A and B are shown apart, each in its own frame.
Chain A
Amino acid sequence: MSALNTGPARTRTLALGPVRLRYRRRTVVTGALLAAAAVVLDIAGMQTGTIALAFGDVLGAVFGQGEGKTLKVVQKIRLPRTVTALGVGACLGAAGATFQSISRNALGSPDIIGFTTGAATGAVAQIVLFDAGPGATALAAIAGGLLAAGVVYLLSLSGGVTGGYRLVLIGIGVGAMLAAVNTILLAKGDSDLAAEAHLWLSGSLAARNWGHAVPVLIAVALLLPVLLGLSRNLNQMEMGDDAAQALGIRTERTRIIAMAAAVGLTAVATAAAGPIVFVALAAPQLASRLTRSPGVHIGTGALMGAVLVAGSDLLSQRLPIQAAIPIGLMTGLVGGVYLLWLLTRSKQV
């Protein structure tokens, strides 16, 4: 009797022909539930708006059936918005899980490499100084973020190795400088433009069309599998670089590819909806507490992120408050509440 076939939390093997995959039942079940929740929230989201629609109508319209007006509203306005929401959540959840694993820090997020603050600097500078429109803002955000991440990475290279700790420290330093620059820009700018900049900084899913949704979907389709494929390596690396290298992993190469993919996902998400960074921090933490399994949670993190964003969007649309609360703030409130609730419930961290 194999010693491994004991206990409820065991890792099992799925055999598909010659392919053998390892999984944990709780993780798969959690993932399936999250996916189902995401779909339900998605459809419920599409039911909401100035025109309330029935569940069945929405479902039909998604697949191309139904009368003209419903079809148009669903396919041209609401579907792209919810797809963007799901996609952005998935991007950020996966990226956050990656950074937390690499930095071995529960507070790891795309900001440890200065990306989010850099994106904010790019966008705020564009809005306050040039005011060239939302397309330019999105581009400026990506450019700023990538530039900041690149600078942090290069500064932390020494002898060809970044070293996790040095990377985090330099990320904090660069982030602090950029945050200062942002504050100056916001304080000095024209008050209208400053207000607009604040709005962008809070993230928004309003008026998101297929132009936003499609790039996000492409990024998820291309980059998420890369991260999923690297998750075995990342898991081994949590035992320390020595142990991982002894098992034959090229640690620096894994780190670079994983970070590049995570930064790519964050960049696309930020361009689509503005910075909604708390998702990147909270989603992986929530996923790990739900699945109660060690290791990096790319898949479940992505699903949790999708649920978080879609849920927050639904909440902000359904709230009886007149003002539309930007998605970034909503995810902050929802994610924060959920995280704190989990912390108070469980005895163990």
Chain B
Amino acid sequence: MFQTPRKQHRQASAWALGLGLLVLLAFASFASGSRTIPLADTWAALTAFDPSHDTHLLVRELRLPRTFLAITVGAALGLAGALMQALTRNPLAEPGLLGVNAGAAFAVAVGLGFFNMRSPYQYMWLGFVGAAATSVLVYLLGRAHDAGTNPVRLVLAGAGLSVMLIAGTKIILIGGPDETITAYAAWASGSLQGRGYDVLPWVLGACLLAVLTALPLSRSLDSMSLGADLGRTLGVRIRTTWILGALAILVLAGAATAAAGPIAFLGLAAPHIARMITGPTHRRLLPLSMLLGALLLLFADVVGRVIAAPAEIGAGVMSALVGAPFFIALARRRKLAKL
């Protein structure tokens, strides 16, 4: 709505910078990994694809989908976090509150431990199911539709259920052979390794649906942030907004965790940083949260490949190591909004 020219300019620059960085990082992502591929080859792989060239194959089959997945998952988590904070009016909320991470982890552990599943594709479906089931349970137990007025219940329900599921997960791991633990640990570090075209379309599709559901909620979220009473008199249908919003969070966070393993902290940090640039208007906040989430995760993924080559450090882990110092610096300068 009303913005000073200076603020508009600042936002336009932020978007230009962000998109530019994204493109740069994408190229870096194509080029880096266990084998560094020179940029000329990377460009050739994209434009003049030669299936006999193994570097071209590497770029096309592995790095391209991986890069897009990183962007999608990062954007999904950024959006889910912004939605969660808006719905609960709690600046400390993150998508994991609905128990998504714990549910996905439990399902993956069951698959690993009892059915010997090992592929990212299988993890993805396990994760979807686990995350969905858990979120629905938390939603019902926590009476989430009341959470606009009283989020304590939802938060406690999420914490209670999460802890039980995590305990269950650990029981399965400890009871099983050592290789279960190693396989699980690899998934749990939030790794994008080996995520190819089998995983990407599903995740992309799910996130697209969720984004289309969530973005139109912007105006309702703005009014809801004024408090339940004022929101209602301004014509917001609180229950509908909550259900749609929670559904979007569930799909976004569930898909992200299912695809890449649990990635904490990004859903908390990205919206806060975005809010510094756009202010609290959700029409601008939601898209920028997506952009920042994507940037952060892609950056983390690239760094994780570069500094530990030829092995790699999972993107989920790296995003916390990279994002947290930034977040702490902001908190110290009291730049983070109280909502």
Q: Touching in the complex, A and B, CB below 8 A?
A: yes
A residues contacting B by CB (< 8 A) are 105-107, 155-156, 158, 165-166, 168-170, 172-174, 176-177, 179-181, 183-184, 186-187, 191-192, 194-195, 198-199, 201-202, 278, 281-282, 285, 323, 325-326, 328-330, 332-333, 335-337, 339-340, 343-344, 349
Tell whether A343 pairs with B92 under 8 Å between CB atoms, given A170-B328, A202-B170. no
Interchain CB contact under 8 A, A343 and B142: yes
Q: Which residues of B contact A177 (CB under 8 A)?
A: 320-321, 324-325
Which of B27-35, B154-162, B273-281 touches A? B154-162
Partner of B327, one of A105, A173, A285: A173
Shortest CB-to-CB span from A346 to chain B, Å, is 9
Interchain CB contact under 8 A, B152 and A202: no
Query: Chain B contact residues (Cβ within 8 angstroms of A): what range?
Result: 35 or more
Measured between alpha carbons, how far is A127 from B318 in the docked complex, in Å?
22
Interchain CB contact under 8 A, A184 and B168: no
Measured between alpha carbons, how far is A133 from B167 in the docked complex, in Å?
25
Chain B residue with Cβ nearest A325? B171
The 7 closest A-B pairs by CB, nearest first: A332-B167, A336-B164, A180-B320, A329-B167, A169-B331, A173-B328, A339-B160
Partner of B174, one of A107, A172, A202: A202
Q: Which residues of B contact A194 (CB under 8 A)?
A: 178, 181-182, 185
Shortest CB-to-CB span from B91 to chain A, Å, is 8
Measured between alpha carbons, how far is A330 from B164 in the docked complex, in Å?
9
Within 8 A of A (CB), among B5-34: none
Partner of B156, one of A168, A201, A202, A339: A339
Interchain CB contact under 8 A, A184 and B164: no
Measured between alpha carbons, how far is A172 from B197 in the docked complex, in Å?
35
Interchain CB contact under 8 A, A184 and B331: no
Interchain CB contact under 8 A, A329 and B157: no
Tell whether A323 pairs with B160 under 8 Å between CB atoms, given A180-B318, A184-B313, A344-B141. no
Q: Mark B295-339, 1 if CB is under 8 A from A, else 0.
A: 000000000000000000110111011011101100110101010
Shortest CB-to-CB span from B181 to chain A, Å, is 6
Measured between alpha carbons, how far is A202 from B92 in the docked complex, in Å?
26
B133 at the interface (CB under 8 A from A): no
Measured between alpha carbons, how far is A169 from B329 in the docked complex, in Å?
10
B128 at the interface (CB under 8 A from A): no
Interchain CB contact under 8 A, B336 and A340: no
Shortest CB-to-CB span from B109 to chain A, Å, is 12
B173 at the interface (CB under 8 A from A): yes
B139 at the interface (CB under 8 A from A): no
Q: Which residues of A contact B173 (CB under 8 A)?
A: 198
B175 at the interface (CB under 8 A from A): yes
Interchain CB contact under 8 A, A198 and B160: no
Interchain CB contact under 8 A, B156 and A195: no
Measured between alpha carbons, how far is A198 from B185 in the docked complex, in Å?
10
Measured between alpha carbons, how far is A297 from B103 in the docked complex, in Å?
31
Partner of A349, one of B150, B170, B188, B189: B150
Shortest CB-to-CB span from B134 to chain A, Å, is 12
Chain B residue with Cβ nearest A324? B174
Interchain CB contact under 8 A, A106 and B174: no
Q: Which residues of A contact B166 (CB under 8 A)?
A: 332
Interchain CB contact under 8 A, B161 and A336: yes
Q: Which residues of B contact A169 (CB under 8 A)?
A: 92, 327-328, 331, 336
Q: Which residues of B contact A329 (CB under 8 A)?
A: 167, 170-171
